[in-house]
Amino acid sequence: MAGAAPPRINVENYRFLQQHVYANSGIVLETDKHYLFESRLTPLVRQMNLGSINDLCALLRATRDGEMGRKVVEAMTTNETYFFRDPAQYEAIRKVFLPRLKQERADTKRLRVWSAAASSGQEAYSLAILLLEEGLGDWNVQILGTDYSSGMVERARQAKFQQIEVNRGLPAALLIKHFRRTGMEWHLCEDARRMARFETMDLRSSMRALGPFDLVFCRNVLIYFDRETKAKILKEIHGALYRGGWLLLGGAETAFGIEERFDRDNPGNVTVYVAR
């Protein structure tokens, strides 16, 4: 017989969780996201042998355990990603960005890219594969992937993907060429893997010292923040880009009206923010 349903998060704890997640990551969770807290935090509650999310909140309040607090925030991050997400952006990189770069950097053959909010690495590795396909295998390419979630960073570093993950967005020819099948997993080849490294990082921290970058992906993460946090992040990204460097955002995101030191360009019908 199924047990009684666990008690719902009470109003006070709901507010506590909202504030905890906001204070520690900038992620805004609205007041009608009960199901989200419940589905994301229940595994943690079970793992800790607690009775309910209310118990988790009580423990977090009482102990102020930083590690537990971090796990709660990580559980609330949305890590959805896939290879070559927004293909038109990769086409713009291939057709417009790389030809220009090849001319400008013919002497140094150096390229620095930042995948901010990298999740499990598909964004960074899609670019690495594209660069190999476009003949930049002998370049000094550094792709930095950062994410709040240490679990995601660890996964990205492994560069091992399940069948269901390589089925999303990755053309079969590129899968065969750049991955090796080992058991149930696909391992990315070393040529692409060595171009990228991954670190945990909160996007709200100061990021200028990471730069300068030629290209920054900051996709499908600004949507979770309020205007003030978006403005702070976009300002930092601007400071971390070379003049003329590109910023690519997710389809539902814009820098327009928030950070004015970007010019908007439209190569191949894709919106690109060019640092002034």
Ligand X SMILES: C[S@@+](CC[C@H](N)C(=O)[O-])C[C@H]1O[C@@H](n2cnc3c(N)ncnc32)[C@H](O)[C@@H]1O
- Summarize as ranges the residues that interact with ligand X (CB under 6 A): 25-27, 77-81, 85, 117, 119, 123, 147-149, 152, 202-204, 219-221, 224, 250
CB of 76 to ligand X, least distance (A): 9
Q: Which is nearer to ligand X, 27 or 166 (CB)?
A: 27
**Rounded to an integer, what is the distance from CA 275 to the centroid of its chain?**
21
Report how far residue 25's alpha carbon sits from residue 238's, in angstroms, rounded to the nearest whole number: 20
Pull the structure tokens for residue 207: 């990021």
Query: Rounded to the nearest 5°, which phi and psi values hold at 65?
Result: -70, 115
Query: Rounded to the nearest 5°, which phi and psi values hold at 31?
Result: -80, -10
**Which residue, judged by CB position, is nearest to ligand X in the bound state?**
81
Closest to 210 measured CA to CA, from 137, 105, 139, 118: 118
C-beta separation of 89 from 270 below 8 A: yes
CB of 25 to ligand X, least distance (A): 4
CB of 142 to ligand X, least distance (A): 18
Q: Which is nearer to ligand X, 202 or 226 (CB)?
A: 202
CB of 161 to ligand X, least distance (A): 14
CB of 213 to ligand X, least distance (A): 15
* DSSP secondary structure of 152-216: HHHHHHHTEEEHHHHTTT--HHHHHHHEEEETTEEEEPHHHHTTEEEEE--TTS--GGG--EEEE
Q: To which residue do tokens 């010019």 refer?
A: 263
Q: Which is nearer to ligand X, 6 or 151 (CB)?
A: 151
CB of 61 to ligand X, least distance (A): 22
Q: Which is nearer to ligand X, 127 or 203 (CB)?
A: 203
Q: Which is nearer to ligand X, 139 or 240 (CB)?
A: 240
Q: Which is nearer to ligand X, 58 or 167 (CB)?
A: 167
